[in-house]
Amino acid sequence: MQTTYKKTSNPMMHRPVVKPELVQWMRERQTAVTGDLAIVLKQASENNIPIIPHETVVYFQMLLHLLQPKRILEIGTAIGFSALMMADAAKECQIVTMDRNPEMIALAKKNLVDFDHRKQIKLLEGDAADLLSVLTAQENEKFDLIFMDSAKSKYIEFLPKALSLLTENGVILMDDIFQAGEILIPIQDIKRSQRALERGLRRLFDEVLDTPKYMTSILPLGDGLLMIKPQD
């Protein structure tokens, strides 16, 4: 049985944090997604599956060119778009990605079979907390870049394990940290169903923004991108 998703005009980014006309300008002026990635992008668009927006894609492509990572860990595979994008941008890199949603896993597996031509990507199935514990228990598991695009309330919980998995000059990136501006709203004014997520994000900000242990940068791309690098 095929699942039908509600369609939307622009599932790539429904909560821009800059003016819509500037978002449109960035997407028109920067190189478009082509080839296999365009096929996966169309799949996401037709089925209203959230993926990283075009301006974030372009940033990743530049960052990966500069970092030249050997290994990347992604928490939150969805349909595999970002993993495939990173594989295309860093053709010698090994990518480990994880997800627990059976429906997304099924779609990702098909996309990896069809488009992971160099067999760079390994998909792990299960809860991220459990999988991260397994990885941290393995002595040689280290990553130059860790990208989190999963349950936002869990970012603060994943952080210690992510840090232990980083190489010496490794970087962590966390997506969707603005939550359409809800980080500016008093917690009591936020819907009860969203408060756990917001509390988790605010604990994260208190941890990484208010301590010299970390070098951080908040980028107004998509719904906010947080970059973290441990200080020496």
- The reply to whether 210 sits in an annotated binding site is no
Name the one residue in this structure whose structure tokens are 């594989």.
Answer: 87
CB 55 within 8 A of CB 221: yes
Residue 11, pLDDT above cutoff 50: no
pLDDT of residue 23: 84
- The reply to whether 128 sits in an annotated binding site is yes
Quote the DSSP letter at residue 91: T
Q: What would the mean pLDDT of 194-217 be, rounded to a whole number?
A: 91
Q: What is the chain's mean pLDDT, rounded?
A: 90
10 against 132, higher pLDDT: 132
Residue 15, pLDDT above cutoff 80: no
50 against 112, higher pLDDT: 112
pLDDT of residue 14: 56
Tell me the per-residue pLDDT of 84-127, one tens digit each, with 9 for 90 and over.
Answer: 999 999 999 999 999 999 999 999 999 999 999 999 999 999 99
Three-class HEC string of 97-153: EEECCHHHHHHHHHHHHHHCCCCCEEEEECCHHHHHHHHHCCCCCCEEEEEECCCHH
> Which element (helix H / strand E) includes 23?
helix 20-29
CA–centroid distance for 145 within its chain: 11
Walk me through the domains of the chain, giving residue ranges and CATH numbers.
Answer: 20-230 (3.40.50.150)
Distance CA 149, CA 69 (A): 19
Residue 2, pLDDT above cutoff 50: no
Q: What would the mean pLDDT of 38-51 be, rounded to a whole number?
A: 93
Q: Among 14-18, 74-78, 214-218, 224-228, name the one with the lowest average pLDDT.
A: 14-18
pLDDT of residue 5: 38
- The reply to whether 127 sits in an annotated binding site is yes
DSSP 142-207: -EEEEEE-S-GGGHHHHHHHHHHHEEEEEEEEEE--SGGGGGGS-GGGS-HHHHHHHHHHHHHHHH
Contacts of the segment 204-210: beta carbons below 8 A, 24+ positions apart:
204/155, 204/156, 204/159, 204/174, 204/177, 207/156, 207/159, 208/159
pLDDT of residue 180: 77
Tell me the per-residue pLDDT of 140-198, one tens digit each, with 9 for 90 and over.
Answer: 899 999 999 998 899 999 999 999 999 999 999 999 998 877 888 888 888 888 888 88
pLDDT of residue 16: 62
Pairing of strands 225-230, 166-175: antiparallel
CA-closest candidate to residue 18, choices 218, 221, 227, 226: 221
Torsion sign (Cα): 165, 171, 73, 178? positive
